[in-house]
Structure 1
């Protein structure tokens, strides 16, 4: 395997001590301390708001590769493509996820007359560092930003690598209406938004909004809470990912991955400044804490006030007014992963352990990269 990222030097940062202990007192909080990967370190943190933790994340550490997924990833993609990686392969991976998801929903309906799987969806943000190149694909409202230091003064440069498809973005609203010029787009968009059915124009799943086979069949009864008016017979949503790749350079310092719940509260620039000027210890916790403080402040509270509020996905009434007796009124589920890009490959000559780390789980599993390396050496 080719090594990469030679001659990087660590970014300077101001001394900053993270003294806020509210995160450790929060029963809905989870974090993983710094873990070494082949060209640096990473840390993870998450906070739950809903009845079931809807965010899923995973980091796979290889000897000379790194996989990050905010959602579930397909780690067999490299070996199946002759030990190579490119943007086409990433698109194929996302397409296969979509196909499998919708096939499951179709079978559930046809064989068992179950419709609930037609209303299940998820975003998908996947990244792999492979042979010196960073590849990213995204569907939904998660986001990944690259922090670099450039020029004589080491000016911080922040780049969002792929679009997020949130309806909060004006260009996504415009894109949505342009895709359906022959429909009453405004009423259709408002129906989706007001009912709170989904917050993104692209996702994995939600087969009912993508396949006319569901809505055309009289036996397919749509729950009133899921009805979108007027009736539609062609896809409203898409699973097409935005894909990005770049060769990592000496100036690249870190990557911040976050679920939609994080980026609703913190800007790209704010998150990057915090990472660039803070010690690494507990950095993911720090970012999540900042988001929670922002969410609490919007309702005239502090983070310490949220700790006593239980998790729930309950929303009172149909007018969008949230029940402030539950955490979901102040913030969504949040996941943050910070990946540092360091000076030397396998620092101090220590090879990283080939492990799999899953969000909101303290267990450490053997990574599927193990099978990859074993098969590659046969």
Structure 2
């Protein structure tokens, strides 16, 4: 979806209200004016004091423009993590993310990524901004034409997309590198998905790996709410993903008792059976085609776009995109939207698949007009706010130190009868981060087809010959 870029005057970069469209060519100027360049010590200091950062919520609750909720499934410790960080770069910039861990230490990986990835994205964006400082300042300060050259305008938008694409690529790469070298966190057989978005004005930037998903609730020409899928479920059954894994000597096949769930296996052993093609961690498979390189996309929002929903696959296993949009749009209060989605998913698990263990569910609902319910309406629902400090989040984090492993046995395959939506994605090349062609643009993420466990078993690394 395209959009217009306006660079008519310097005042356009400054005189905008919250929620108003922002010029793409001036995006980095806002950040430069409001944030100095970070040093390594700044990064460390921020990491140590994350719990006191305002407008950053991690636990069930609400913010000025969003609500989040998670519920533990029946497999053990809740391995889902989520975040909404308002004022991420500037007053009108919001970062949202959902992270679904798997493996014995998946809950720790997911929370580590939740806490660290936004800081890495911030670091790389600031680095890009600093390099463009002079040219960008001239762009926003000196151009005072009422008529903008479309060719130059498009070029400016392309530069912005390239900057954000590179920032997502580098931050994801740095995150995975940090996990590999982490002294106290074993990520050899554990990992996490990630679906992350940054909203600034009318711009929505997205980076994601794994099978957590983001959708958009929007109104069509008949003023009816429709669901638009923003991300792809990056599973091994995608032809492009399967081809890469096989080139790297990894194997992709489904087990007999779950024929719809393609998994990634070591070349020399029938393990671990990872049900996704990209993830943080999972270093036992990183030499065999599983990567942490994100897909990236940029969307220009319009007045028809109402909200974005990010969720882990525990939700998408039992609810279609359309059902989630309908639930959010019809919620009695916006503050309860995420909670109602999770509760609806829990009921569907019990009703449709009573013999399967319900997966963890995590939901972030971001309302694009920046409006939420009044505090009195919110409290009437008995749902406490955690907007200010994040002291209430510590209770949720108390299980970090526990050595609790999730269940790893297999159950039944869950399949939805709903047809999948079409969506746009921009693949990033594994080497230089540039976009690579338009092949498979319409490939479906197989909405509703799931794994009951991300990992079938831990690697044995035996000397047995692989299954033919």
**TM-score, normalising length: structure 2:** 0.51
Whether 2:366 is the aligned partner of 1:339: answer yes
Whether 2:66 is the aligned partner of 1:65: answer no
Distance 1:331 1:81, change over 3 A: same
Match of 2:76 among 37, 51, 66: 51
Runs of 4+ in 1 over 3 A off after TM superposition: 1-7, 30-34, 77-81, 181-197, 353-363
Whole-angstrom distance in 2 between the partners of 1:292 and 1:207: 32
RMSD of aligned residue pairs (Cα, Å): 3.6
Whether 2:300 is the aligned partner of 1:272: answer no
Distance 1:359 1:128, change over 3 A: farther
Residues matched between the structures, number: 270
1:143, distance to aligned residue in structure 2 (A) = 0.6
List runs of 5+ in structure 1 lacking aligned partners: 8-29, 109-113, 212-234, 301-323, 348-352, 364-378
Match of 1:164 among 233, 241, 264: 233
Distance 1:299 1:260, change over 3 A: closer
- Is the 1:57–1:358 Cα contact (8 Å) retained in structure 2? no
Distance 1:191 1:82, change over 3 A: closer
1:196, distance to aligned residue in structure 2 (A) = 5.9
Alignment correspondent of 1:298:
352
1:237, distance to aligned residue in structure 2 (A) = 0.8
Whole-angstrom distance in 2 between the partners of 1:186 and 1:200: 10
Deviations 1:224-263, CA, capped at 9 Å, x for gaps: xxxxxxxxxxx23111211111122111100001012111
Alignment correspondent of 2:165:
87
Whole-angstrom distance in 2 between the partners of 1:179 and 1:127: 27
**TM-score, normalising length: structure 1:** 0.61
Give the match's secondary structure for 1:117.
coil
List runs of 5+ in structure 2 lacking aligned partners: 1-13, 22-57, 100-113, 131-159, 255-261, 375-385, 397-468
Whether 2:336 is the aligned partner of 1:282: answer yes
Whole-angstrom distance in 2 between the partners of 1:358 and 1:164: 34
Whole-angstrom distance in 2 between the partners of 1:166 and 1:182: 16
Where relative contact order (Cα < 8 A, 6+ residues apart) is larger, the structure is: 1
Whole-angstrom distance in 2 between the partners of 1:258 and 1:184: 28
Alignment correspondent of 1:126:
196
Q: Which residues of 2 match residues 127-146 of structure 1 at below 5 A? A: 127-146=197-216
Whether 2:246 is the aligned partner of 1:180: answer yes
Whole-angstrom distance in 1 between the partners of 2:263 and 2:275: 11
Deviations 1:285-338, CA, capped at 9 Å, x for gaps: 1100111111111244xxxxxxxxxxxxxxxxxxxxxxx6xxxx4311110011
Whole-angstrom distance in 2 between the partners of 1:236 and 1:355: 42
